Every structure is written in structure tokens, then in C-alpha cells.
Amino acid sequence: MGVLKHYRELFPITDATPIVNLEEGMTPLIPLPRINKRLGINLYGKFEGCNPSGSFKDRGMVLAVAKALEEGKRAVICASTGNTSASAAAYAASQGIPCFVLLPAGKVALGKLAQALMYGAKVIAVKGNFDRALELAREGAEKTGCAMVNSVNPYRLIGQRSGAWEICDVLGKAPDWHAIPVGNAGNISAYWAGYNEYQKLGKIDSLPRMMGFQAAGAAPLVTNQPCPNPETIATAIRIGNPVSAHLARAAVSESHGEFNSVTDDEILEAQRLLASEGGVFAEPASCAPLAGLMKLKREGRLPEGITVTMILTGNGLKDPNTAMSQVGKPIEINDTLEELMRVLESK
């Protein structure tokens, strides 16, 4: 039914708010028994790649676009490392309004670029990084009156709280740890707000530790200073100056959690593990939490038996190039049974 209908009473929705709906949300919380064995915990991956545009962004975009329409806005604009643009473009398309997206030129995964173009957005490649594109998008929004649908738009983060509510609704409690990749730092803040709201409503009686994971080359929340030239293979979180840094810091300190960083090699190893032992194909940024949990395990800092939810923020199909760069090629054969048998019987 989509998150606006499902959680209507928890959202700032009035009779004047159009119920926009692409059937986002209600994503699966997937148990990962083979990976549990390695880590000695009770781990679930919330696969946000099942959302209509293939990432968690849809949860907040649906509310941001609905409120923009309610406020009489007739176009939306955002800067993006890829997923926000795909999501904004999808919802704008569904409502028949123009969408402008600013992307860091040459640094967006192929699938995401294809999505924004297919949904019919006006795609603008900025010769600069995401942080600069975001500044420009904000200025463009101010000058034109377009609705700004980056996570500086409060409705984005309110919509994204629904992920935390779904986890609690399914588990019947909050997890002990909540592991999540951190880029512009909105989602970790939204989840923390969501868990707190559920506790106030009496739906859960404990709160998780918020564990935020960044890529080592773009880890301003770990180093505690902006990173002027962020670089990582996980292009979704290639961000040097997160706009919601203050909210994310509050979430981590209030929950006695931590920020940690993982290298690109660790991220890619986790991506392969999640696919080959979990059966879930998530994009590189989404695998930073698993890389981080593996690192904590090696360091002896992962408590046995705890329940951990990690947010698999985007679908692996969005970034086929990174996937193909780490796997072998198919085995090509002539169309004979002999050649097939040679392959089937080889070790």
C-alpha cells in the first residue's frame, strides 16, 4: 500500500496531502544464517534494494514529493550521488512534474544514471564533487522555487523513519545494534528518530546502538573534519561534508554507538560475501556495514549473540561495472554435450 498509507498516522499528512504511492517500503528483513555463523551474531539485512527505484530513498521521496505538490510546487530539484536522483525522477514522473538532477560528472554508477534518464529527468552532470553539486542545487532551488528534495528537505528524513518502524514491527522489538552506511548522514539520523518515536509510543522498550560506517576515503565523521577530496569505489557515499553531520553525531552519541571506517577492499569483500553466502546482491555502499561488522569481529569487539540489523541501502544491479570488475567471466563452450560435461565434471 506504500508508506504514506501504511504509516499515515505517524506522518504530517493532512486531507490536502496527495497520497503519492509507488508501493515503496515493506522491504524484506532477510536472515543471513551462513554469515551469522562467521560472525556469531543474529544478523538481518533489510534489503532496501526492493524499493521501486531500488534504494531506501523512496521512503522519504514519496513524502517530499507529496508535500511539494500540497505546497503548490510544480518541479523538483536535487543533487545526488545517484540514488536520490533516481528516486526523485521516478516520483516526479509518476506525478507528471519536471525533475532536475545534478550529478558529479563521471562519478555515478551506470544503473542510476540510466534510471534518471529513463524516468525522464533533466540530468545535469556537474564538473565537481557531490558536495559542490548540492550547494548549486540549493541555490538553483532558491532562485526558481523548485522543491528541493535532498535530505535537507525535512520530509525526506521523516519518511525514512518508516524503515525503523518496519524493523520493529517485524522483530517485535528493536535490534541491539543498528548498522548503517553513512554518506550525507541523513538516513542514520532518520532511523534514530524513528526508533525513538516508537519507544515514546510504547511499541519498543529499548533502543539500539547506532553503528555508522563510512568509506575510509570519505570518512569525515570518523576523522571529525570535512574531507575536501572524497574518494571511494562506493560512489553513493563519496561525500566529504555531510549536511546532516550534526544529527548523525547526536544519534551516535545518544545511543552509545560509534562511527567507523572501512577500506574499499573491505567493502568489496563484504559485497562478495553478502552475495555468495547471503544470496543478496547489494551495491558497494550498502556493504560498508557488513565490512565494518567483519572488522569489529576481527578486533574482538563484536559481542556474541546480539541481534543486529544492517540496512542494505541499494540494489547491486545499480552498479554492474563495479560488480563485473571483481568477478570472473562466464565459461564459454561450443554447443556440445562433451564440452558441457567437461565443465560439469571439473572441480
Which residues would be at the binding site for ligand F0G (CB under 6 A)? 55, 57, 80-84, 151, 181-187, 236-237, 283, 285-286, 313-314
Where b means 16+ CB within 10 Å and e means fewer, 13-33 reads beeebeebbbebbebbebebe
In the complex with ligand F0G, the residue whose CB is nearer, 122 or 298, is: 122
Cβ contacts of 88 within 8 Å, gap of 6 or more:
57, 61, 65, 76, 78, 80, 99, 101, 121, 149
Closest distance of CB 328 from ligand F0G, Å: 25
In the complex with ligand F0G, the residue whose CB is nearer, 80 or 255, is: 80
In the complex with ligand F0G, the residue whose CB is nearer, 246 or 342, is: 246
Region at 202 (left for phi over 0; alpha for psi -120 to 50; beta for the rest): left
In the complex with ligand F0G, the residue whose CB is nearer, 14 or 126, is: 126
CA pair distance 35, 111, nearest whole angstrom: 27
In the complex with ligand F0G, the residue whose CB is nearer, 70 or 105, is: 105
CA pair distance 24, 259, nearest whole angstrom: 29
Whether the CB-CB separation of 248 and 190 falls below 8 Å is answered with no
Closest distance of CB 87 from ligand F0G, Å: 8
In the complex with ligand F0G, the residue whose CB is nearer, 2 or 104, is: 104
Closest distance of CB 115 from ligand F0G, Å: 11
In the complex with ligand F0G, the residue whose CB is nearer, 21 or 81, is: 81
Closest distance of CB 332 from ligand F0G, Å: 33
User: Quick one: CA torsion of 57, 90, 112, 145, rounded to 10 degrees?
Assistant: -80
Determine the 3-state secondary structure of 211 from DSSP: strand
Closest distance of CB 51 from ligand F0G, Å: 11
Other beta carbons less than 10 A from residue 300's beta carbon: 7
Whether the CB-CB separation of 247 and 154 falls below 8 Å is answered with no
Closest distance of CB 192 from ligand F0G, Å: 12
Closest distance of CB 151 from ligand F0G, Å: 6
CA pair distance 246, 100, nearest whole angstrom: 27
Please tell me the total number of residues recorded for the chain in this structure. 347
